[in-house]
C-alpha cells in the first residue's frame, strides 16, 4: 500500500461522461496512490467501463479533469495533452488489460512478438534483447517458453490472458487498467490467474484500476473500492470495510446478493 506522504499518481476530479441520463459516469472524484489497487464495482450498466475508458485516456470526459504524476515527477493533465501524447502514455507508463485478450493482443503475430512490441516501440531493435525479454516475461506469467514462436490463436483463453498481461508489463508500466480480466474463464483458470496477478502487482509495486462485477475478485486484488450505481459513486472505502460493513443501501444489496450462499 501507498505511503500517506506520497502524492497521488492519478487525481480524478468531477469527471463526467454521459450517453444519456444516468448512462455513463458523472461527478466522479478520487485519488489513486502509487502501489494502490482500486476496484470499480457495481451492477451491469452502472458505468464502470465508461469510467475506465475515460480514466485511461480513451474517451474524453464531457467535464472534469484527470491529472497524472508521470515518471519524471511532473503532473500532467490527461485531456490537456494531445491524442498522440495520450497514446504514448498508454504504450509506455500505462497498460490496459482488456476483458477479451483478442482485443489486447495481435493475433497474427507470435507470442514473442506480442511481448516484444512495446519494447520495439520504445526503440529496442536488438533481436537477442527482445527474445530475452519475451522469454523472461513468459516465465513471469508462467507460460511455457517453448511456445514463444506460436500464434496466440493456438493458446487457451487463460494462456492468452497471461500473454496479454506479459505484453503490458514488459515496458514496466506504473499504472495498469484492467477491465474484467478474469471474466469468461473457467473458475480454476480464473483462480490461478488471480494468484498470478496478485503476485505481480505486489512484486512490481504496480498501481492498478480494475473493473469487476465479481466481488470475490475485488476482495482478492483491491485495496480500495468504489461502488457505482447509475453512473455515480455511491460509496468508496477500504475493500474489507465495504465488503464486511457496507454503509450505502445499494452496497449492502450488492454485497448480500453476491456474497451470500
Ligand atoms: N457507446 C455508447 N453509446 C451509447 N450508450 C452507451 C455507450 N457505451 C455505454 N453506454 C451506456 O452507458 C451505460 C453504462 O455502460 P457501461 O458499459 O459503462 O456499464 P458497465 O457498468 O461497465 O456495465 P457492464 O458491467 O455490463 O459492462 C449503459 O446504460 C450503456 O448502455
Q: How far apart are CA 38 and CA 55, in angstroms?
A: 12
Given a contact cutoff of 8 angstroms between Cβ atoms, the answer to whether 43 and 229 are in contact is yes
Pocket test for ligand 1, best of 39, 50, 177 (most atoms within 8 A of CB): 50
Task: Please tell me the predicted confidence (pLDDT) of residue 69.
Answer: 96
Which atom belonging to ligand 1 lies closest to the Cα atom of 52? 18
Q: How far apart are CA 39 and CA 225, in angstroms?
A: 5
Who's near 29: CB < 8 A, 6+ residues apart? Answer: 12, 13, 14, 15, 64, 233
Q: How far apart are CA 101 and CA 158, in angstroms?
A: 9
What percent of the chain has a predicted confidence (pLDDT) above 90? 80
Query: Ligand 1 centroid vs 178 CA: distance in angstroms?
Result: 16
Is it the case that residue 74 has pLDDT exceeding 60? yes
| ipTM for the assembly | 0.97
Pocket test for ligand 1, best of 18, 47, 211 (most atoms within 8 A of CB): 47
Instruction: Give the residue carrying C-alpha cell 475506465.
Output: 52
Count CB atoms within 10 A of the CB of residue 70: 14
pLDDT digits (tens, 9 = 90+) for 198-216: 999 999 999 999 999 889 9
Q: State the cell numbers at 13.
A: 476530479
Average pLDDT over the chain, rounded to an integer: 92
Beta bridge partners of 179: 211
Task: Please tell me the predicted confidence (pLDDT) of residue 260.
Answer: 47
Task: Please tell me the predicted confidence (pLDDT) of residue 261.
Answer: 45
pLDDT digits (tens, 9 = 90+) for 228-249: 999 999 999 999 999 999 999 9
Is it the case that residue 1 has pLDDT exceeding 90? no
Comparison of pLDDT for 18 and 250, the residue scoring more: 18
pLDDT digits (tens, 9 = 90+) for 151-185: 999 999 999 999 999 999 999 999 999 999 998 88
What SS3 state is found at 181?
coil
Q: What is the pTM of this model?
A: 0.93
C-alpha 43, offset from chain centre: 18
Query: Ligand 1 centroid vs 128 CA: distance in angstroms?
Result: 44
Is it the case that residue 5 has pLDDT exceeding 70? no
Q: What is the mean pLDDT of residues 60-67?
A: 97
Map out the domains of the chain with their CATH numbers. Answer: 10-258 (3.40.50.300)
Q: How far apart are CA 86 and CA 42, in angstroms?
A: 27
Beta bridge partners of 92: none
Q: How far apart are CA 223 and CA 238, in angstroms?
A: 6
Query: Ligand 1 centroid vs 23 CA: distance in angstroms?
Result: 7
pLDDT digits (tens, 9 = 90+) for 120-146: 988 888 999 999 999 999 999 999 999
Query: Ligand 1 centroid vs 239 CA: distance in angstroms?
Result: 24
Task: Please tell me the predicted confidence (pLDDT) of residue 2.
Answer: 47
Cβ of 47 below 6 Å from ligand 1: yes
Q: State the cell numbers at 219.
A: 476482495
Using alpha carbons, list the distances in angstroms from residue 105 to 82, 100, 197: 25, 9, 18
Who's near 131: CB < 8 A, 6+ residues apart? Answer: 112, 116, 148
Phi, psi of 183 (to 5 degrees): -65, 145
Cβ of 59 below 6 Å from ligand 1: no
Amino acid at each position: 500500500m501507498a505511503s500517506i506522504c506520497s502524492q497521488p499518481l492519478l487525481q480524478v476530479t468531477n469527471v463526467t461522461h454521459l450517453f444519456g441520463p444516468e448512462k455513463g459516469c458523472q461527478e466522479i472524484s478520487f485519488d489513486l496512490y502509487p502501489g494502490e489497487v482500486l476496484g470499480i464495482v457495481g451492477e451491469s450498466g452502472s458505468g464502470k467501463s465508461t469510467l475506465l475508458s475515460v480514466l485511461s485516456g480513451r474517451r474524453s470526459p464531457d467535464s472534469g479533469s484527470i491529472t497524472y504524476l508521470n515518471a519524471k515527477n511532473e503532473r500532467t493533465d490527461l485531456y490537456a495533452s494531445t491524442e498522440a501524447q495520450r497514446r504514448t502514455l498508454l504504450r509506455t507508463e500505462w497498460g490496459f488489460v482488456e476483458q477479451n485478450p483478442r482485443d489486447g493482443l495481435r493475433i497474427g503475430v507470435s507470442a514473442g512478438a506480442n511481448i516484444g512490441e512495446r519494447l520495439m516501440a520504445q526503440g529496442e531493435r536488438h533481436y537477442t534483447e527482445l527474445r530475452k525479454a519475451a522469454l523472461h516475461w513468459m516465465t513471469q506469467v508462467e507460460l511455457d517458453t517453448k511456445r514463444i514462436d506460436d500464434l496466440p490463436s493456438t493458446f487457451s483463453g487463460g494462456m492468452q490472458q497471461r500473454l496479454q498481461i506479459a505484453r503490458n508489463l514488459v515496458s514496466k508500466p506504473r499504472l495498469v487498467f484492467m477491465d474484467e480480466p478474469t471474466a469468461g474463464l473457467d473458475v480454476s483458470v480464473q483462480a490461478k490467474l488471480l494468484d498470478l496477478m496478485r503476485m505481480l502487482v505486489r512484486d512490481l509495486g504496480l498501481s492498478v484500476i480494475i473493473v469487476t462485477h465479481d466481488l470475490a475478485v475485488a476482495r482478492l486484488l483491491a485495496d480500495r473500492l468504489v461502488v457505482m450505481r447509475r453512473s455515480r459513486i455511491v460509496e468508496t472505502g477500504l475493500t474489507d470495510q465495504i465488503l464486511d460493513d457496507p454503509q450505502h443501501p445499494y452496497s449492502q444489496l450488492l454485497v448480500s446478493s453476491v456474497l451470500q450462499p
